[in-house]
Amino acid sequence: MRQHTVTDSPVGPLTLVATDGVLSALYMEQHRHQPDPSTFGLRDPAPFAPVREQLAAYFAGELTEFDLPLAPEGTPFQQRVWAALRRIPYGTTLTYGELAREIGQPTASRAVGLANGRNPHSIVVPCHRVIGTDGSLTGYGGGLERKRYLLALETGRRAGAVVEDALF
């Protein structure tokens, strides 16, 4: 059974989707690659208390790693990329090429980028920590301003600061 709720956050409303009580997606407002909302199931906040608590702690700067069961739906390659994303430490970044090497496919940086863009667990699975080879902030399903905000939060800078300069 699928259920969903919407919760407020500093980066705007977040839609949380659960499949059989396990978080299967977290989408930002105007999220690229978001499926039709009619697939999210009934609106019910009950299964999302742990997710909301951890998100609140993350945005307060008190949580650096999420500890939630996840039920992502994707290809085996996407699953490998998403698992590697979870190993990127808080406050650090990797390039798409580095992430491709991390999963043992050093020539697959474009495919890694595509899988990264399809990550159904934004924020929780930190796809915002992946950047371009030249250190630039490249695409993000929730928009570059949100990516900039999340990276600034993790590096202790104010949200409006230019993050690219702080990371390198």
Annotated catalytic residues are 127
- Those residues whose C-beta lies under 8 Å from the C-beta of residue 57, and which sit 6 or more positions away, are 63
On whether the CB atoms of residues 96 and 137 are closer than 8 A, the answer is no
- Give the single-character DSSP code of 161: S
> CA 163: distance to chain centroid?
17
* Parallel, antiparallel or unpaired: strands 42-43 and 22-28: unpaired
Q: How many CB atoms lie within 10 A of CB 85?
A: 24
